[in-house]
Amino acid sequence: MKTLMTLLVGLMLVISTNVLASSVETYQFSKPEYEQRFQDLNKILRCPKCQNQNLADSNSMISQDLRREVFRLMEEGRSDDQIVEFMVMRYGDFVLYKPKFDDVTYFLWLGPIGFGVLGLLILMVIVIRQRNKKLTTNGSEDHLSQDEQAKLDAILKRNLN
């Protein structure tokens, strides 16, 4: 019984080490400056599967493929702009963390500013209306005419006696 338990624990350890092992991508760059460019490009390109991770942070299969593609294009001698353009042509503007300002994305860039200005205008209108309402009600309801004041005094005198 003891040998069976030892065998099972040993088997579980062997299986678990295979599960925990993950591949580490290493690239041999032909020029030393390519390594920094590679890191920078992987930070500005978004993983199409993960959506909220860049290529550098993602472990998905598609991001691994895209990193290999960036490496290949870089080794071919393409510039950063050409590599980014290639990725956009292949995957669309979604692959960029900062989409370009054009007729399709202008609302993305200007929308928050427009909503902020609209909110401030609405707030100003509400404050001005409240201030005007307060001024008009203070002027008419707080002060009684002489006739009204005399009637009120007479009623109060009657009730006190």
pLDDT: which is higher, 99 or 33 = 33
Mean pLDDT over 35-53 rounds to 87
Query: pLDDT at residue 157 above 80?
Result: yes
92 with 130, same domain?
no
Q: What is the pLDDT of residue 26?
A: 78
Q: Name the nearest CA neighbour of 66 among 82, 55, 58.
A: 55
Q: What is the DSSP letter of 61?
A: H
Domain extent at residue 130: 104-140
**Structural domain count of the chain:** 2
pLDDT at 142: 58
100 and 81 Cβ atoms separated by less than 8 Å: no
Are 90 and 108 in the same domain?
no
Q: Could you tell me if 111 and 59 lie in one domain? A: no
For 47-94, what is each residue's pLDDT tens digit? 888 878 888 888 888 888 999 999 999 999 999 999 999 999 998 888
Q: What is the pLDDT of residue 23?
A: 54
| Any domain includes 156 | no
Name which of 8-12, 25-29, 156-160 the model is least confident about. 8-12
**DSSP secondary structure of 1-25:** -HHHHHHHHHHHHHHHHHHH-----
Q: Are 60 and 103 within 8 A, CB to CB?
A: no
Question: Does residue 160 belong to any structural domain of this protein?
Answer: no
**Looking at the domain assignment, is residue 22 inside a domain?**
no
Band (pLDDT 50/70/90 cuts) for residue 4 is: confident
For residues 57 and 92, state if they share a domain.
Answer: yes
The pLDDT assigned to 24 comes to 59
| Claim to verify: residue 58 and residue 37 sit in the same structural domain | yes
Question: Is 95 found in the same domain as 79?
Answer: yes
121 and 68 part of one domain: no
DSSP-derived 3-state class of residue 142: coil
Model confidence over 98-152: pLDDT tens digits?
777 777 777 877 889 999 999 999 999 999 999 888 777 665 555 778 888 899 8
**Rounded to two decimals, what is the model's pTM?**
0.54
Domain presence at residue 161: no
Nearest to residue 69, comparing CAs of 81, 89, 93, 86? 86
What was the pLDDT predicted at 128? 92
Q: Tell me the average pLDDT across 20-26.
A: 58
DSSP 24-59: ------SSHHHHHHHHHHHHHBBPTTTSSSBTTT--
Please name which of 64, 61, 45 lies closest in space to residue 53, comparing C-alpha atoms.
45
